Amino acid sequence: MECFLCGPHPETTIWDGVTVSFNSRHLQSSLEPPTSISPGKSPVRPNVIYVKGQQCLQDKSLRQSLRRIITGPSLLLPAKPQSTLSRGQLTDNPETLEADESDDNDEAIGSERSNQQKIGKDILARVELIPKVMESLTTVNVDLAQMFDYWFGISALSARREAPSAYHRFFTQVAADESILQMMNRPALATLSTFNRNPTHKQLSLLIHIPALYNILEIGFTRGSGQLLSWTIGVCKWLQDRASAVMERLLEKNMSAGAAGEARLPGVDGRTLVQKDWKLTGCYYAMPQVRARPEYPQLAYDQAKKDSATVGAKRGNCSKYYSRYSESRLTGGIMVKAGTTCFLRSIHAGRLPQSVLYTTSRARSAPTV
């Protein structure tokens, strides 16, 4: 099963999962999830370990405070605050209103005032975070701090400057708890490096695979009549440096895993691997298995699940999986890989990042995106 346009190994792929599952009492001994290890055939990669601090901003408190500021109602209070209730609703004159209508209006006015007070307190708390966030961002990167101040800082509030939605999305990505490589993969990082050497509007299309950055640069070129502000260029260079540092730390561990030795392991070309019936294993793929799935002894999620009396320990590395499936005694859902023409590539039940597992054991070459 493959697309006649993209072929068996499309450059651009889309992964999505749904929570289709069944009760664990129906599990059969023949089921083999994609995490199964092939004895004697699975290469062992003991050097692959977790790499901490992969986020754009390594300070967790800074990430939380930044998200707090940019999330919620606008920090720009209206020049003349007005109630959302109409003039007639705010009238509380017994000579013009019936008694029951007056009571209803009193309740509505009280509720409205209470809501406004809550919103006001929330906005005040967010504004009070700005100086501390500015100080922390300045220590990370001065250009990033200037961009934040212009659109979300005290200067933005003083000038009553509302940030475009693209800047909300960009700083949401910057403040994310996930790896910066979720924002840009290795090929995208290479194109960012090319752009930074010549940051012109003509080169902007290179960054189409980094949409959060692409969108704010597009606004920057438009507002600057084809020229970017110096701090915008500085932010681009900072993102490149930060992503490169994370990438180097990851590759340092993976490159020492002994790839040359793995090539001589049996089953790497698929000829010695038994293609099992998916009706028994519970996993269906559009392509045959071409290599054994590697074993990662230093990764906690790669180990057998240990019994524990504590809920926290049972949750392990994926609380979503535990609360949604394990507590209800359900199996995992299904994952679908598709190309840009939306064709079905593979489905299986599982609990781990299945794009990695599929590429490892099925695809002869990894997709670019």
277-329 residue pLDDT tens: 877 777 777 677 777 778 888 876 655 444 444 444 444 444 444 454 454 54
pLDDT above 50 for 68: yes
The pLDDT confidence band at residue 338, using thresholds 50, 70 and 90, is low
Output phi, psi for 227, to 5 deg.
Answer: -120, 140
CA dist 295 and 46 (Å) reads: 8
**pLDDT above 80 for 178:** yes
Neighbouring CB atoms inside 10 A of 79's CB total 6
Closest C-alpha to 75, from 7, 176, 154: 154
Determine how β-strand 283-285 pairs with β-strand 346-350.
antiparallel
**How far, CA to CA in Å, does 228 sit from each of 166, 173, 192?**
16, 21, 15
pLDDT, mean of residues 68-82? 76
* Interval 3-49: pLDDT, tens: 666 666 666 666 666 555 555 666 667 777 666 777 777 788 888 88
pLDDT score of 44? 83
Compute the mean pLDDT over every residue in the chain, rounded to the nearest whole number: 74
Residue 212: pLDDT above 70?
yes
What pLDDT sits at residue 295? 82
Q: What is the pLDDT of residue 282?
A: 72
> Does residue 347 contact residue 334 with C-beta atoms inside 8 Å?
yes
pLDDT the model gives residue 189: 95
Give me the residue label for tokens 């590429």. 359
Q: Which residues fall within 8 angstroms of residue 183, CB to CB, at 6 or more apart?
A: 56, 173, 176, 210, 212, 213, 239, 243
- Residue 170 has a pLDDT of 97
| Mean pLDDT, residues 200-219 taken together | 95
pTM higher than the cut 0.85: no
pLDDT in tens, 95-138: 544 555 555 566 667 777 777 788 888 899 999 999 999 999 99
Q: Which pLDDT score is estimated for 23?
A: 59
- Residue 10 and residue 367 in contact, taking contact as beta carbons nearer than 8 Å: yes
% of the chain beyond a pLDDT of 70: 57
Identify the helix (H) or strand (E) that includes residue 15.
strand 13-18
Residue bearing the bigger pLDDT, 68 or 330: 68
pLDDT score for 5: 66
- Say which residue, 308 or 361, is predicted with more confidence: 361
SS3 assignment for 301-368: HHCCCCCCCCHHHHHCCCHHHHHHHHCCCECCEEEEEEECCCCCCEEEEECCCHHHHHHHHCCCCCCC
pLDDT value of position 84: 44
